Structure 1
Amino acid sequence: MKPWAIWGSAVALTLAAPALAQVVDTDSGSVRGSTVRGVASWKGIPFAAPPVGDLRWRAPQPVKPWRGVRPATAFSNDCMQIPFAGDAAPLGTPPAEDCLYVNVWRPATARAGAKLPVMVWIYGGGLVNGGASPAVYDGSEIARQGVILVSFNYRLGRFGFFAHPALSEANEDNGLLGNYGYLDQIAALRWVQRNVAAFGGDPNNVTVFGESAGGGSVNMLMTTPMARGLFQKAIVMSGGGRSRPMKPIRAEASAGESAERDGLGFARWAGVPGTGSGTLAELRALPAEKVVAGIGIGQKPVAPASGPMLDGMLLIAPPEQVYRAGNAAAVPFIAGANSADIGFGPADEPDVFARFGADAARARVAYRPLAGDPAAQRRAIFADAGMVEPARFMVQQMTRAGQPAWNYRAGYVPEVMRAEWKDGLPHATEIPFFFRTIEARYPGKTTPADHRAARAMSAYFVNFARTGTPNGVGLPDWPVYRDDVRPMMDFTANGPTPGADPWRERLDLAERVAESARDKSRK
């Protein structure tokens, strides 16, 4: 063979090697992924049996192993829901009940045993919308930084959070009732523990991170005993943190509210009014479209529905109580929110400052920079109460429990949106910066400044996943939280800006309101 032919054959084998190496053996069977520009990925790997038929409203069940090599080059269906037009992360696949699948991205050159850090993403959407398929959640750019990125689907709406006396009576999973979407998340993390080493990841260096309802899910994982040991670091992005009312599965008194009562209300609406032995089969036979009716962001309710519920096994107490008691998972922790985040409050409240009580005058001064736009001022007060201060609250509690914790605010607005987003960065729009997928979100409209911001924001999270601190070479030092000075990292148009919080007075007042309301509720 001529020398050039030998050289050509060697090059061909070298180029082909990554593709040949994309078959990975999981505990359920082999999967073949694909390689694009130096990143290998596997999509649509089942981590639990399809939750359909008799498995609707059951804890996730084991996958049936398969023979041969299963193709894993396309996303599975996202979980059943009614998509909404204004989603900041539009779904890439049609929704369906058969949806419990996981996706993995890694550097193409990584191999089993590489022990790369692992980041596990949990999407938001109010626990009624969302999925792993949106382009802004693509894990390629995180993988290029030397990390394994894992995402997965979990059941939503009534498929994910539902109770009924017939389910309780059947007790098919030894008390694992009601919070099926959360149980899916734990099942996915257990899949990571069993399988990520085969992809080159380190099961002892796993960071969970999520936004909005995904951030709230991280709060659940931080505070449930069922998730202990499944991750070593956590990031909550606009995930709240102050308690919202949670119903028990069963009412303790005849007139008490419960998730079972909500389930009975839905069943009556759906034409299944009984509680006898055949009721559960009838409920499971309902068309998926009937179960999802009226559930979703922007949907009008047609029957009662429950969110996360106190079930006595997964959720024993609201996460706020667990954080306060110092009993959250003992792991390094990051929490933050956006500069124009979401919040909720009465639109017809005549004086928004009345909520501050004796501190009303101080609050007027603290929010005076927004006084020229009363609507923006109102939005800021509600966002501080709903997202910004609760993020700081969780960081406080973790620090008091002896864990290193960091607080941030995402305020960098992409240049193409600055004329429209004058208040700051809205809810959920920080995600493409931390994933470095801004081109997918704003195709053809990004600028060098946008990309610099994305590189820095993503690098902080990747550093945290790698070492347990967000700091690294070439980045401004992000100070660990201390309650006496309450420092934070502000991601601004001028770059990452660490130091004293310019909103501290606002947030201290929001904290006083929250603590006062808690004290009153306990009397």
Structure 2
Amino acid sequence: MFRSSVQRYSLIVLGSLMGLFACSAANTPGEVEVTGGKIKGTVTEQLVTYKGIPFAAPPVGELRWRPPQPVTPWTGVKETTDYGNDCMQLPFPSDAAPLGKTPAEDCLYANVWAPKDADGSTPVLVWIYGGGFVNGGASPAVYDGSEFAKNGVIFVSFNYRLGRFGFFAHPALTAEAKAAGDMLANYAYMDQIAALKWVNENIAAFGGDANNVTIMGESAGGGSVHAMMQAKQVRGLFNRAIIMSGGGRSLFGHRKVSEPVPGSLAGEQYGLNYAEKHGITGKDAEALAALRELSAQDIVDGFNLATLFNPSPTDKPTWAGGPMQDGEIITATTEDALRDGSVAKVDVMVGATSMDIGFNSFKTKAGLFASFGPYTDKARQVYDPAGDLPFQAVGYSVGQDRTMQEPARFVAEQMTAHGQKAFYYRFGTVAKSNDSPGAPHASDIPFFFNTVAAKYGDALTEQDAAAAETIHQYIVSFAKTGQPESDGAPAWQAFDPAQSNMLNMTRSGEMKHATDPWKARLDVVKAAVEHSN
């Protein structure tokens, strides 16, 4: 009996130890299981970082110009300690966010920065990069998510296809997609949808709360946030949105897949022109097979942000310029979708930089002001009251107001009208080492991310660092609770159309919450736009 008791006790102890060892193995620091298999990241004192996680199969060969397909499961534990390839593109030297990885077609990878103590209730922020839909990636140093994770937010970034890989139409592709019941043309947006679904299905493994997700994007990434707000395929998968320099009126309105619209060819015609340039004719499966056999360099075709707006050398343009109304993901212009309330009902943070993108095609002040129609005199009063400002300066101000500033306020107005909170801002902070008269497009990113050290290096000043910390805390707070707050900084109140209130991030980094100082300018832009509609 005694031996039997000892044996039973020994078995209990052994079983307990085996259970302990099994538990330890299942909870190896930095090791989690996601769709496809187990991954292991990099563990530091505060964070666990995972880079290069496949969220879809490589879109190569027969998968070029198809919706993202499920990942192929792997065995063992995949090391996820470095970024995957950025998506295929032609980089350019003056990029504000230079890539950290070599571009390739095999590029559908996600990255996660998680607090070490994430407990399943940790809020999540998902980043969508910009780059005009022809450049960009998740690997630039200024997109590092460490500061978010240090402040209690799980940060996720991912790659999506660019250029002609991401947006392409051709009659043979349309036929293939219809036969398979697939979406078509906007492959970049399909990648973004797949990434958001991946987050929804897997973020709990990292300690994240799938019911507290904010999406954020800048420039083309901001336009992508608009697209995701319109896309029914991800409705309910995010709870808030941050739109940085993403426009908000005419997006998605200037081209369709099969139908020509005024001022633009149908997407399929651009595809036919491109195929003809490479000696491929016809609209059948044979033509599509030949297109898929072209090299990645041929698909890039020399396009990047530096060459994107060059005039076509022929009367048969080959690049449609990005997103198309496909009838599934994008069904309307951003303006129409916002007006009719067919976008996701989420709270938003929206704004632009103080020297954002602005184009002016007019040759004289008279022509520029005449474009305001019945508001010509009012436009002259608010933009050039004494009549002595240089034409270039006036044209730029009007251009950025039409492209970025007024559309951002329009988004705040419409979301407020639909019962959501909108937090409206203008980023004007300029690093001390920069002599720019205002904040250029994309200069807000390192401040929002608090990665100014990576951007400015030895030139970083205490003033720059303090401004970045203040702004970053607003973003963290919005991602956590939906209310942007920052210690010692002004309370950021939700947008009130009657007041046109905003947070003005000034040149020196001081935060001012007040009526928009450019209200009169934006009011006349709005009046002219709505008169012409």
Q: Is TM (by shorter chain) over 0.5?
A: yes
Question: Residue 470 of structure 2 aligns to a residue in which SS?
Answer: helix
| Correspondent of 1:178 among 169, 185, 196 | 185
2:201 pairs with 1:194: yes
- CA distances 1:289-333 after superposition (whole Å, capped 9, x unpaired): 001103211225575122211111111112211100122111111
| Correspondent of 1:247 among 242, 249, 255 | 255
| Correspondent of 2:445 among 427, 431, 434 | 431
Give the partner amino acid of 1:49.
A
Question: Residue 310 of structure 1 aligns to a residue in which SS?
Answer: coil
| Correspondent of 2:415 among 398, 415, 422 | 398
Query: Equivalent residues in 2 for 1:5-16 (5 A)?
Result: none
State the Cα distance separating 1:505 from its structure 2 match: 0.4
Give me the whole-angstrom Cα distance separating, in 1, the residues matched to 2:339 and 2:113: 36
| Correspondent of 1:453 among 452, 455, 467 | 467
Question: Residue 349 of structure 2 aligns to a residue in which SS?
Answer: strand
Query: Equivalent residues in 2 for 1:96-107 (5 A)?
Result: 96-107=104-115
2:481 pairs with 1:467: yes
2:249 pairs with 1:233: no
Question: Residue 443 of structure 1 aligns to a residue in which SS?
Answer: helix
Q: Tell whether the 8 Å contact from 1:342 to 1:387 is kept in structure 2 after alignment.
A: yes
Q: Tell whether the 8 Å contact from 2:470 to 2:486 is kept in structure 1 after alignment.
A: no
**Structure 2 counterpart of 1:141:** 147
Give me the whole-angstrom Cα distance separating, in 2, the residues matched to 1:499 and 1:82: 42
Give the partner amino acid of 1:408.
Y
**Structure 2 counterpart of 1:505:** 520
State the Cα distance separating 1:361 from its structure 2 match: 3.0
**Structure 2 counterpart of 1:203:** 210
State the Cα distance separating 1:271 from its structure 2 match: 1.4
Give me the whole-angstrom Cα distance separating, in 2, the residues matched to 1:232 and 1:20: 31
Give the partner amino acid of 2:372.
F
Aligned residues: 496
Question: Residue 285 of structure 2 aligns to a residue in which SS?
Answer: coil
- CA distances 1:456-493 after superposition (whole Å, capped 9, x unpaired): 11111111110011135533111111111110000012
- CA distances 1:323-380 after superposition (whole Å, capped 9, x unpaired): 0012211111111001111112215345332222333333233224895444233212
Give me the whole-angstrom Cα distance separating, in 1, the residues matched to 2:163 and 2:376: 39
Q: Tell whether the 8 Å contact from 1:326 to 1:400 is kept in structure 2 after alignment.
A: no
Question: Residue 439 of structure 1 aligns to a residue in which SS?
Answer: helix
**Structure 2 counterpart of 1:8:** none
2:402 pairs with 1:381: no
Taking structure 2 as the reference length, the TM-score comes to 0.89
Question: Residue 125 of structure 2 aligns to a residue in which SS?
Answer: strand
**Structure 2 counterpart of 1:13:** none
Question: Residue 362 of structure 1 aligns to a residue in which SS?
Answer: helix
State the Cα distance separating 1:218 from its structure 2 match: 0.3
**Structure 2 counterpart of 1:281:** 289
**Structure 2 counterpart of 1:155:** 161
State the Cα distance separating 1:279 from its structure 2 match: 1.4
Give me the whole-angstrom Cα distance separating, in 1, the residues matched to 2:165 and 2:35: 27
**Structure 2 counterpart of 1:114:** 120
**Structure 1 counterpart of 2:275:** 267
Which runs of 5 or more residues in structure 1 are unaligned?
1-15
**Structure 1 counterpart of 2:377:** 361
Q: Tell whether the 8 Å contact from 2:364 to 2:391 is kept in structure 1 after alignment.
A: no
Q: Tell whether the 8 Å contact from 2:86 to 2:104 is kept in structure 1 after alignment.
A: yes
- CA distances 1:157-200 after superposition (whole Å, capped 9, x unpaired): 10000011111111264140000000000000000001111011
Give me the whole-angstrom Cα distance separating, in 2, the residues matched to 1:332 and 1:256: 34
Structure 1 window deviating more from structure 2 (301-310 vs 318-327): it is 301-310
Question: If you compute each CA radius of gyration, which structure gives the higher value, 1 or 2?
Answer: 2
2:354 pairs with 1:339: yes
Taking structure 1 as the reference length, the TM-score comes to 0.91
| Correspondent of 1:314 among 315, 325, 329 | 329
Q: Tell whether the 8 Å contact from 2:39 to 2:80 is kept in structure 1 after alignment.
A: yes
State the Cα distance separating 1:36 from its structure 2 match: 4.0
Which runs of 5 or more residues in structure 2 are unaligned?
1-23
% identity of equivalent residues: 48
Give the partner amino acid of 2:117.
T
Give me the whole-angstrom Cα distance separating, in 2, the residues matched to 1:256 and 1:456: 44
Give me the whole-angstrom Cα distance separating, in 1, the residues matched to 2:148 and 2:68: 28
State the Cα distance separating 1:252 from its structure 2 match: 7.1
Structure 1 window deviating more from structure 2 (273-282 vs 188-197): it is 273-282
